[in-house]
Structure 1
Amino acid sequence: MSGTSQGPAPAVELVQPAITERHVNGTVQSSTPTSAPTPTSTPESPVASDAPAVPAAFSAAPLAMAVVDRDGLVVTANEAMGALLGTATEATETTETLTGRVAAELVDLASDPRTWHAYREVLRGRQARLRCTRRLKRPDGTSLWVQVSVAPLPEEERAILLSVADISANRQLQARLRHLQMHDPVTRLPNRAFFFERLTAALERDAYDVYDAVGTGRIGLVYLDLDGFKAVNDTLGHRVGDRLLAAVAERLTRCAEAAGHTRVCTMPGTSAGAPLVARLGGDEFALLVEDSTGTEQLADLAESVLKALQAPFDLSGQRLSVSASIGVVERQSASATATGLMQAADTTLYWAKADGKARWTLFDPERNAHRMTRQALSSTLRAAVGRGEFVLEYQPLVGMADGEVRGVEALVRWHHPQFGVLTPNRFISLAEEDGSIVQLGRWVLATACRQARRWQLDHPDRAPIFVSVNVAVRQVWDSDLVADVAEILAETGLAPHLLQLELTESALMGSAGRPLQALKALSDMGVRIAIDDFGTGYSNLAYLSRLPVSVLKLDGAFVRGFQFETPQEDRDEDDGQPNPADEIIVEALVQLAHRLGLTVTAEGVETDAQASRLRRLGCDTGQGWLYSRAVSPQRIAEILGAAACPRA
């Protein structure tokens, strides 16, 4: 919405006509619709000699009034009517000037069909009253808002009374109040209410194909907030913060004006003006681009905003530098809603902040779909445990020396009814965020221990295998892990040394207080503690002598570094290059672990060449696709029945 705001018209009796604008002096140029023909007359039209009598106070009344016959012609008018319409220069000329004129033309009652029909119904005596609001133009070019009332003249069937009240002052007051209501007092920019009104109107316009011939049917939004603005308020006070917001508003307005000028120059004849700049609240601003030409236009605008805000602000001796994070959305108007646009812009703004701030980010449907999927998973994760949607698969841990299965790692899978089978990397981080990892972790622990005990009972002739279960640090903090493990081992009958708990290196290296006490208690119980993905985190070797760790699991990245057994000259160019340092590191880690009384498991073993080198380096066990992928409990039972682990 631009220009002077036009508020709602006063109350209307029976009919509320549209507000239009008319000239009232001399001959009137009318845009009367074909459905509402305008009666014609001239000032010289004869007036009936038996004119209806009017009260003596009629002429001196301050309210502009005229008596109109049933044909719609002015019989007589008072001085106030002539002064209001600007047709009389002297009071004595009032009646002569207006008598015989078409009343509907004087106050623009024939410009729309609804009002014209209602007016004729009053003339014919079929309707009691008409009241409407009109904007009229005087001969001198000034305009005024009036409220027009038409009603039968009391005790006179031959005529009706037309009264016109000047409500311009009231309309101006309404306009000023609306301006205050729709603008931000700090920056003087349109506020959130104004912005959404304009956005909604633009979308509705495009939805009904009412936009002009040069319209694109697209809409764009640049949504930003200032990085670190809260620190300005907290350290320098809200007065300085308000000055900063006002200065930012000025620069954004200049960016919008420059963008509008650029578009006019590059697209002559376009009807689109400068983008609307609004303050949505706090340190949030938005630039609305109607009839946008594509993402390139929005990207250029966002880039100009970033550059404009880079220069320091000098605020009464305070020199401040700020940056902004910006979300950019551009799409077809027909498929957009105000709520959907703002949600997309807010999401994209969050991406810009997460990616490092002081940048703009364009809305990415695929990234948003991933976010929506995460949200859907998070909202159903807790209930999924109770519904039995999780299952465990097991990957063998094989002795490097003899190829015999020594243990298995339990890996949880989510059989989601909508998204199919999901691996842990899709939902474990969500479970840690919302705390459902405690409930899920206990289920995994109990299920894995129960299954390990079942294998032990089903294969009494072979040495029992251990089961390794991953544990999140939040499980240690938010639950009594020691009590849970003790209870589960007692319920399932599994010996403590047949349970191995895996924690990531980064989690273990930062362990102190309660987590460290819990790990020591578990170790004293006989449970094995393993460091998962060793070598990719802090790698603080001093911790190895203090933590109750019994197993190091080397990250698969080291194993991939020496995947070739054939000489360099016999390899193809596409085979890649081995990293000799990886083998040296693995050898050193294995020797260090053995000196500390720890065993070493290599992850990601995929080839015989890798297994052979790991065996020569003294690695104790291996895990990877060379031996088996994660499989069902039934398949593990079949493997246990064999002499050695079959190759995948």
Structure 2
Amino acid sequence: MTPVGVPDRSGGHVDAEALARSWGQAVRGTSHVALSRSELDVLLRGLSERLLRALRTPELDRADVMAAGRELVGAHFTEIASLDRTLEHLGTHLQPHAEPGRLIAVLSALAVGFAGALQERTRHELERITVSAFDARASVERERWNSEARFAAVFAESPVGIGVGGIDGVIIDVNKALCRMFGFTAEEFAGRSFYDFVHPDDDPAVWEQMQQMVAGQIEYLRFDKSYFRADGGRISSQLVISLIRDPGGEPRYVVAMVEDVSDRRALEDRLRHQAEHDPLTGLPNRAVFFERLDAALADPAAAVGVCFLDLDGFKAVNDTLGHSVGDELLRVLARRLDAELGPDGHLVARMGGDEFVVLVHDGADRDVLTGVAERALETVRRPVRAGGRDLTVTASVGLVERGDGGASAAELMTAADTTLYWAKNDGRNRRAFFDRERHLADIERFAVAARLPDALERGEFVVEYQPLVRLEDSRMTGVEALVRWRRPGGLVGPDAFVPLAEESGLIVPLGRWVLEQACRQAVRWQDEHRADGVGPMFVSVNVSARQVREPGFVAVVEKILSATGWPARSLQLELTETDVMATTGEPLHVLRELAALGVRIAIDDFGTGYSNLAYLRDLPVHVLKLAGPFVSGTGGAEPDDVAVAVLAHVVRLAHTLGLSVTAEHVETARQVEQLRTLGCDLGQGWHFSPATDPARISEMLRAGSAGRVG
């Protein structure tokens, strides 16, 4: 037979036979059961299969589980200890392997079935014996004595609390189980009324039904009820009340059977709490948050907002100080956030990891959300004592209002997550509001990133070239290779996709392809124009810091130069100023190896960062390419004297360091003249030519052999 079980959420399997064996050990000796060990194993095996089936089926068959509880009573497991051991054992053994909500429902149904069967068993026995006792008046004395003796035995020894009262509600007699349950003696019970035991949680409709019962209109009532013990403690019970009539059919007595289910309710409450709360921080968990968010959104007029918070640099805490310190930090911050925001009616929940979320649904507008976010940020910033040291952390917060982020809970949380990402990217320790236009731009950006790998495979990239012109005589001495993406609608410039390629790592194969294309094209130009008397030229190719850090980058460059036949001395590799100035360790060694091969290294967009010019002498750099802002102030209608002076100083210092200077974004003849006067070596820009195709560069080379460019 194939074993029946339930899959473990971590991939394991719970076997019905093993569960039955351990269950049998747990309940053995709790009730007087006339079953052999093998018979008990068969019974519990069948019940285990039904419970495991109930845990894994999409729709819970509650009636089947209740029937399993009734079968336990039918096998004479009639003591409360049997139910207590059963619930404790099943709850402990099945909790790691089942969804908490489903497990609670299954155990509850099992307990209800057990309690119902036990009450029915006791009620039927009492009714049978009670009726027999009344009939005994017309029977022989011996039979009356036997009936009364059986009634007395059942009444006195029943594990269920039993009380008998008149139709006026006054208690006539109680058994030992009821006395133990309430902490009263039989004498203290006697003469009191059922109505003395009203509890604040009682449903008023129950007492109306009691009135109907003593009037003979209702025979039987079953409901849950709470009581106060003599010591003030609380009892959770399942109560069954039956009306007993005399032989003439008139209401005579009321019999109440009270089963104490406090332990079972406590187990259910504990399991429910575990299912709804984060075990580390005690905050409501993700499931509760979404349930509350759905409920808030169900009211179309409700103003709902979400404040999504993530700690900045929390991974560093775990990595350097250990996970125990990280856990302590999370617990402290969780308590603080709940204490700060919870009293105002905001739900603070833990989403997982170092993420917290606040649901604001009472007048949540932009101002309210801003206030919540600022209070949350300030709460997180306060130092935390954890692991024997004071820690200070910050957080980033994404804010979204209903309507801006979407109509459903999932859409609202997606928008909040996106906005949190913006706050992180914008510098951390701050808040950001959802912006639909920015969101749509991000979607387009991600769509572009997703298409990049296939675009490279399909050959959708092309390389254009922009002349590098010697300012002294306006002759083209080199070109810069610029990659473009040919998409429907035209060519897309590198600004739109190169940053995405760098993030994804696609810049490595793309950069290798551009370098190879540029070198091959340069060789073709050289062969094509050898007879035209064109002098030596170089080709300049942009590379990213990601490429330089890639293992074997020098070998890749050497292989391409060898395969294409382009000399290393005629290759220039450009890195941005920020990338070059951040180059240390192995990447710096890579640049030195390239320079040793004869490759020239250029700093692109120089002037956009905060370079220490003196540091340049220690780097294997040959060329400074001045950024557009440097150049734009030199050739206007009224040149900026300060800008001209600064540029002149940079050019002189670069030449002192043995560096060549190239001016980018040269747009006018006036700029050309000014840059030539200041001593710039090369110029690049629309004044000479925009980036163009290889055929146009061939024409310019041909013209340049006889004249100037631009």
Band the TM-score falls in, shorter-chain normalisation: 0.5 to 0.7
CA displacement 1:499-527 (0-9 Å, x = unmatched) = 32223334445556655555455445444
Match of 1:98 among 205, 213, 226: 213
Matches of residues 232-271 of structure 1 in structure 2 within 5 Å? 248-257=333-342, 259=344
Matches of residues 16-35 of structure 1 in structure 2 within 5 Å? none
* Equivalent in the alignment of 1:471: 543
Does the C-alpha gap of structure 1 residues 205 and 580 become closer, same or farther in structure 2, counting only changes over 3 Å? Answer: closer
Matches of residues 234-383 of structure 1 in structure 2 within 5 Å? 248-257=333-342, 259=344, 274-281=345-352, 283-290=354-361, 292-309=363-380, 323-332=394-403, 335-383=406-454
* Equivalent in the alignment of 1:403: 474
Q: Which moved more, 1:543-552 or 1:423-432?
A: 543-552
* Equivalent in the alignment of 1:390: 461
| 3-state SS in 2 of match to 1:327 | strand
Q: Could you tell me how far apart the structure 2 residues matched to 1:475 and 1:534 are?
A: 20
Q: Could you tell me how far apart the structure 1 residues matched to 2:594 and 2:318 are?
A: 50
Does the C-alpha gap of structure 1 residues 102 and 294 become closer, same or farther in structure 2, counting only changes over 3 Å? Answer: farther
Match of 1:174 among 259, 268, 272: 268
* Equivalent in the alignment of 1:183: 277
CA contact (8 A) 1:475 1:481 kept: yes
Match of 1:529 among 592, 598, 601: 601
For residue 613 of structure 1, report the CA deviation from its aligned partner: 0.7
Does 1:203 find its partner at 2:298? no
For residue 178 of structure 1, report the CA deviation from its aligned partner: 1.6
Does the C-alpha gap of structure 1 residues 248 and 475 become closer, same or farther in structure 2, counting only changes over 3 Å? Answer: closer
| 3-state SS in 1 of match to 2:532 | coil
Does the C-alpha gap of structure 1 residues 434 and 318 become closer, same or farther in structure 2, counting only changes over 3 Å? Answer: closer
Runs of 5+ consecutive residues of structure 1 not aligned to the other structure: 1-7, 17-52, 65-78, 108-133, 151-161, 260-273, 569-577
Matches of residues 63-74 of structure 1 in structure 2 within 5 Å? none
Does the C-alpha gap of structure 1 residues 304 and 340 become closer, same or farther in structure 2, counting only changes over 3 Å? Answer: same
CA displacement 1:127-178 (0-9 Å, x = unmatched) = xxxxxxx55799xxx997758899xxxxxxxxxxx99885753345423432
Does 1:629 find its partner at 2:702? no
CA displacement 1:236-287 (0-9 Å, x = unmatched) = 998887776555445433433553xxxxxxxxxxxxxx12222344554322
* Equivalent in the alignment of 2:309: 224
Does the C-alpha gap of structure 1 residues 618 and 433 become closer, same or farther in structure 2, counting only changes over 3 Å? Answer: same
For residue 230 of structure 1, report the CA deviation from its aligned partner: 7.0
Does the C-alpha gap of structure 1 residues 318 and 518 become closer, same or farther in structure 2, counting only changes over 3 Å? Answer: closer
Does the C-alpha gap of structure 1 residues 84 and 445 become closer, same or farther in structure 2, counting only changes over 3 Å? Answer: farther
* Equivalent in the alignment of 1:21: none
Does the C-alpha gap of structure 1 residues 641 and 204 become closer, same or farther in structure 2, counting only changes over 3 Å? Answer: farther
Which amino acid in structure 1 is aligned with residue 338 of structure 2?
Answer: T
CA displacement 1:579-628 (0-9 Å, x = unmatched) = 32322233334344445554322111112211111122232221112222
Does 1:442 find its partner at 2:507? no
| 3-state SS in 1 of match to 2:402 | strand
Does 1:453 find its partner at 2:453? no
Match of 1:56 among 126, 129, 133: 129
Q: Could you tell me how far apart the structure 2 residues matched to 1:165 and 1:298 are?
A: 51
CA displacement 1:408-460 (0-9 Å, x = unmatched) = 1111123357x974432333334334433221111001111122222233333
| 3-state SS in 2 of match to 1:12 | helix
Q: Could you tell me how far apart the structure 2 residues matched to 1:185 and 1:280 are?
A: 12
Q: Could you tell me how far apart the structure 2 residues matched to 1:97 and 1:505 are?
A: 91
* Equivalent in the alignment of 2:649: 588
| 3-state SS in 2 of match to 1:329 | strand
| 3-state SS in 1 of match to 2:651 | helix
For residue 185 of structure 1, report the CA deviation from its aligned partner: 5.7
- Over the residues paired in the alignment, what is the CA RMSD in angstroms? 4.9
CA contact (8 A) 1:135 1:143 kept: no
Does the C-alpha gap of structure 1 residues 635 and 611 become closer, same or farther in structure 2, counting only changes over 3 Å? Answer: same
Does the C-alpha gap of structure 1 residues 413 and 103 become closer, same or farther in structure 2, counting only changes over 3 Å? Answer: farther
CA contact (8 A) 2:276 2:288 kept: no
Q: Could you tell me how far apart the structure 2 residues matched to 1:55 and 1:299 are?
A: 71
For residue 331 of structure 1, report the CA deviation from its aligned partner: 1.8
Q: Could you tell me how far apart the structure 2 residues matched to 1:96 and 1:507 are?
A: 87
Using CA pairs under 8 Å that are at least 6 residues apart, name the structure with larger relative contact order, 1 or 2: 1
Which amino acid in structure 2 is aligned with residue 628 of structure 1?
Answer: S
For residue 461 of structure 1, report the CA deviation from its aligned partner: 0.9
Q: Could you tell me how far apart the structure 2 residues matched to 1:389 and 1:636 are?
A: 21
TM-score by length of 1: 0.65
Q: Could you tell me how far apart the structure 1 residues matched to 2:323 and 2:582 are?
A: 40
More helix by share: 2
Q: Percent identity?
A: 45
Q: Could you tell me how far apart the structure 1 residues matched to 2:166 and 2:547 are?
A: 83
Does 1:424 find its partner at 2:539? no
CA contact (8 A) 1:399 1:621 kept: yes
CA contact (8 A) 1:639 1:645 kept: no
Q: Which moved more, 1:404-413 or 1:79-88?
A: 79-88
Which amino acid in structure 2 is aligned with residue 467 of structure 1?
Answer: V
How many residues in Structure 1 have an aligned counterpart in Structure 2?
A: 518
Does the C-alpha gap of structure 1 residues 462 and 333 become closer, same or farther in structure 2, counting only changes over 3 Å? Answer: closer
For residue 463 of structure 1, report the CA deviation from its aligned partner: 0.7
For residue 555 of structure 1, report the CA deviation from its aligned partner: 2.0
CA contact (8 A) 1:394 1:409 kept: yes
| 3-state SS in 2 of match to 1:388 | coil
CA contact (8 A) 1:519 1:548 kept: yes
CA contact (8 A) 1:224 1:285 kept: yes
Q: Could you tell me how far apart the structure 1 residues matched to 2:632 and 2:154 are?
A: 96
Matches of residues 7-18 of structure 1 in structure 2 within 5 Å? 11-12=62-63
